[in-house]
């Protein structure tokens, strides 16, 4: 951050039991949501459409009033403040650039209103647009640049106000997939440089997991889990979340625990040693395709490869047992196994996510149980 002359700020965000309902609807868009964001964090808010992400962002921006609860920036309660009093920069899905103005005039609009000296504005614009590689486009209008360039300009417009919080609502969703990946990498670099607390809304789990320090997952107006991408990947709080944050769909099994303390999946064609659960328990088990170890075994009689799909660095296989059950595995592409190849499968207990069969809630992981002395 040493070469930065922009006055960057980062503030802690505290969302305390925020309740938000629209009109006469009795179903809250935010149901007493609480969230803590440390200064300088890049937090992704991830959830399906209609889960309350935009509402959350608008509440932080001051664009929506809350019915109950509080929003604090650092020690300051901003719940009653107008958007322009909050010191936030906002980037929406479609950029809020003025179609008849040059990018330079759009970007400088807010600081000019705020009576920032002209020279200072020029200096900020130069710095920010260099970071974003749009310095050469400032004379053009939004209609004369690409979608990706427009979103870069929208980010520049938010940053020249020197916000203490940067809010982004699906900023890259209108950009094609390849460019979206490039933009998200640049966003992470930009965030490293400026260190401004950033909240990034997306419905794309890959995008959220790729960019964020932590991810807050929303569903039906509630926060389901907040954690680092690795925490969400390793220890999802429930079965729904495990699926939602996974790039490769999970294998799901109904299982029971037998007398030998094994997890018995699929009528016994797959078993996992060391369940460490009460005998006879019925549970739901989720296993990631990359966590099923598969090796060719000519003498194997239960499992055979049904299909294989080359996905670049990995190969995805569907394998089928003698009863017709299918599971998906993913291995590194060191060798390709052919359809019909008999294989042996192995799943380690540490790789199983075990959920309550009724509620889908996660049980403590095997290692956590070991640590707490449960056996
Ligand atoms: P997301 O951004 O995750 O798709 P939203 O925050 O836009 O979700 O919406 C959350 C819920 O609030 C949805 O049920 C949506 O239909 C409702 N909602 C959002 N905006 C309004 C509005 N202006 N008026 C009435 N209902 C709204
Ligand atoms: Mg939205």
Strand order in the sheet with 270-272: 270-272, 263-265, 251-257, 282-287, 352-356
Q: How much of the chain, in percent, has pLDDT values that exceed 90? A: 85
Please indicate, yes or no, whether residues 76 and 140 belong to a single structural domain of this protein: yes
Within 10 angstroms of residue 75's Cβ, the number of other Cβ atoms is 8
Please indicate, yes or no, whether residues 212 and 73 belong to a single structural domain of this protein: yes
- Could you tell me the CA-to-CA distances from 70 to 17, 44, 143, 329 in Å, in that order? 7, 20, 40, 46
What pLDDT does residue 335 have? Answer: 82
Domain boundary among 224, 243, 262: 243
Q: Has residue 214 been placed in a domain?
A: yes
CA angle 229, 32, 208 (to 5 degrees): 20
Alpha-carbon distance 84 to 90, whole Å?
11
What pLDDT does residue 369 have? Answer: 45
Q: How distant is the alpha carbon of residue 359 from its chain centre?
A: 23
What pLDDT does residue 364 have? Answer: 67
> Facing residues of 343 across strands?
296, 303
Instruction: Determine the distance separating the centroid of ligand 1 and the alpha carbon of 89, expressed in angstroms.
Output: 21
User: What band does 69 get if pLDDT is binned at 50, 70 and 90?
Assistant: very high
CA angle 331, 290, 284 (to 5 degrees): 145
Output Rg (C-alpha) for the chain, integer angstroms: 25
Q: Is the pLDDT of residue 329 over 90?
A: yes
- Judging by DSSP bridges, how do beta strands 270-272 and 342-346 pair with one another? unpaired
Which residue has the least CA distance to atom 22 on ligand 1?
Answer: 22
Cβ burial of 289 (10 Å; 0-12, 13-18, 19+) is buried
Domain boundary among 183, 217, 243: 243
* Average pLDDT score over residue span 147-173: 94
What pLDDT does residue 1 have? Answer: 42
Domain harbouring 65, CATH code: 3.40.50.300
What pLDDT does residue 374 have? Answer: 41
User: What band does 373 get if pLDDT is binned at 50, 70 and 90?
Assistant: very low
Please indicate, yes or no, whether residues 237 and 272 belong to a single structural domain of this protein: no
Q: Is the pLDDT of residue 330 over 50?
A: yes
Q: Which of 44, 52, 93 to mutate to test the pocket of ligand 1 (most atoms within 8 A of CB)?
A: 52
Instruction: Determine the distance separating the centroid of ligand 1 and the alpha carbon of 250, expressed in angstroms.
Output: 29
* Average pLDDT score over residue span 47-56: 97
Please indicate, yes or no, whether residues 234 and 255 belong to a single structural domain of this protein: no
User: What band does 174 get if pLDDT is binned at 50, 70 and 90?
Assistant: confident
Give the number of domains in the chain: 2
Report which bound ligand comes closest to the CA of 218: 1
Q: Has residue 21 been placed in a domain?
A: yes
Please indicate, yes or no, whether residues 72 and 158 belong to a single structural domain of this protein: yes
Q: Is the pLDDT of residue 170 over 60?
A: yes
Please indicate, yes or no, whether residues 91 and 213 belong to a single structural domain of this protein: yes
Please indicate, yes or no, whether residues 18 and 156 belong to a single structural domain of this protein: yes
Domain harbouring 316, CATH code: 2.40.50.140
Q: Is the pLDDT of residue 2 over 70?
A: no
Instruction: Determine the distance separating the centroid of ligand 1 and the alpha carbon of 204, expressed in angstroms.
Output: 18
Please indicate, yes or no, whether residues 338 and 237 belong to a single structural domain of this protein: no
Q: How much of the chain, in percent, has pLDDT values that exceed 70? A: 95
Alpha-carbon distance 201 to 199, whole Å?
7
113-147 tens-digit pLDDT? 999 999 999 999 999 999 999 999 999 999 999 99
Q: Where are any strands of DSSP class E within 49-196? A: 68-73, 76-77, 88-91, 165-169
> Facing residues of 315 across strands?
310, 331
Instruction: Determine the distance separating the centroid of ligand 2 and the alpha carbon of 127, expressed in angstroms.
Output: 30
Domain boundary among 227, 243, 259: 243
Contact 196, 165 (CB under 8 A): yes
Please indicate, yes or no, whether residues 72 and 188 belong to a single structural domain of this protein: yes
205-224 tens-digit pLDDT? 999 999 999 999 999 999 99
Please indicate, yes or no, whether residues 233 and 253 belong to a single structural domain of this protein: no
What pLDDT does residue 248 have? Answer: 86
Q: Please tell me which residue, 25 or 189, carries the higher pLDDT value.
A: 189
Which residue has the least CA distance to atom 13 on ligand 1?
Answer: 50
Backbone conformation region of residue 276, classed left if phi is above 0, alpha if psi is from -120 to 50, else beta = left
Report which bound ligand comes closest to the CA of 92: 2
- Domain hosting 300: range is 244-372
Please indicate, yes or no, whether residues 101 and 236 belong to a single structural domain of this protein: yes
What pLDDT does residue 29 have? Answer: 98
Q: Has residue 4 been placed in a domain?
A: no
What pLDDT does residue 370 have? Answer: 46
Reference 164, options 199, 202, 114, 130; nearest CA is 199
Tokens 């000019």 correspond to what residue? 112
What pLDDT does residue 365 have? Answer: 55
What 3-state DSSP class applies to 161?
A: coil
Q: Is the pLDDT of residue 10 over 60?
A: yes
Q: Which atom in ligand 1 lies closest to the alpha carbon of residue 201?
A: 2
* Average pLDDT score over residue span 257-284: 96
Q: Is the pLDDT of residue 331 over 70?
A: yes
Instruction: Determine the distance separating the centroid of ligand 2 and the alpha carbon of 105, expressed in angstroms.
Output: 28
Please indicate, yes or no, whether residues 207 and 140 belong to a single structural domain of this protein: yes
Strand order in the sheet with 214-219: 88-91, 165-169, 197-202, 42-46, 214-219, 222-227
CB neighbour list of residue 189: distance below 8 Å, 6 or more residues apart: none
Report which bound ligand comes closest to the CA of 93: 2
């Amino acid at each position: 951050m040493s070469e930065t002359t922009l006055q960057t700020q980062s503030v802690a965000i505290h969302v305390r039991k925020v309740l938000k309902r629209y009109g006469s609807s009795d179903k809250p868009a935010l149901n007493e949501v609480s969230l803590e964001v440390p200064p300088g964090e890049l937090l992704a808010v991830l959830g399906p459409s209609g889960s309350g992400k935009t509402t959350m962002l608008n509440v932080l921006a001051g664009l929506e009033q809350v019915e109950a609860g509080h929003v604090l920036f650092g020690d300051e309660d901003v719940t009653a403040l107008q958007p322009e009093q909050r010191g936030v920069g906002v980037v929406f899905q479609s950029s809020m650039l003025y179609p008849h103005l040059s990018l330079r005039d759009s970007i400088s609009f807010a600081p000019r209103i705020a009576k920032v000296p002209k020279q200072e504005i020029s200096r900020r614009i130069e710095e920010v647009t260099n970071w974003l590689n749009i310095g050469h486009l400032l004379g053009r209008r939004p209609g004369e640049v690409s979608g990706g360039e427009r979103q870069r300009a929208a980010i520049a417009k938010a940053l020249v106000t020197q916000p203490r919080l940067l809010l982004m609502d699906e900023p890259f969703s209108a950009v094609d997939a390849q460019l979206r990946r490039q933009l998200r990498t640049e966003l992470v670099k930009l965030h490293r440089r400026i260190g401004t607390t950033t909240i990034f809304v997306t419905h794309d789990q890959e995008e959220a997991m790729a960019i964020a320090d932590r991810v807050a997952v929303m569903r039906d107006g509630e926060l389901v889990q907040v954690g680092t991408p690795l925490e969400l990947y390793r220890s999802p709080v429930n079965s729904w979340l495990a699926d939602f944050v996974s790039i490769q769909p999970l294998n799901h099994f109904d299982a029971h625990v037998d007398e030998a303390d094994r997890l018995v999946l699929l009528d016994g064609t797959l078993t996992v040693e060391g369940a460490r659960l009460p005998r006879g328990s019925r549970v739901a088990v989720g296993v990631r395709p990359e966590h099923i170890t598969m090796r060719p075994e000519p003498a194997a009689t239960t499992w055979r490869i049904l299909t294989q799909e080359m996905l670049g660095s990995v190969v995805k296989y569907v394998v089928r047992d003698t009863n017709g059950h299918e599971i998906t595995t993913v291995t590194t592409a060191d060798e390709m196994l052919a359809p019909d190849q008999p294989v042996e499968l192995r799943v380690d207990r540490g790789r199983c996510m075990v959920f309550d069969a009724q509620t889908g809630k996660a049980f403590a992981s095997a290692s956590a149980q070991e640590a707490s002395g449960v056996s």
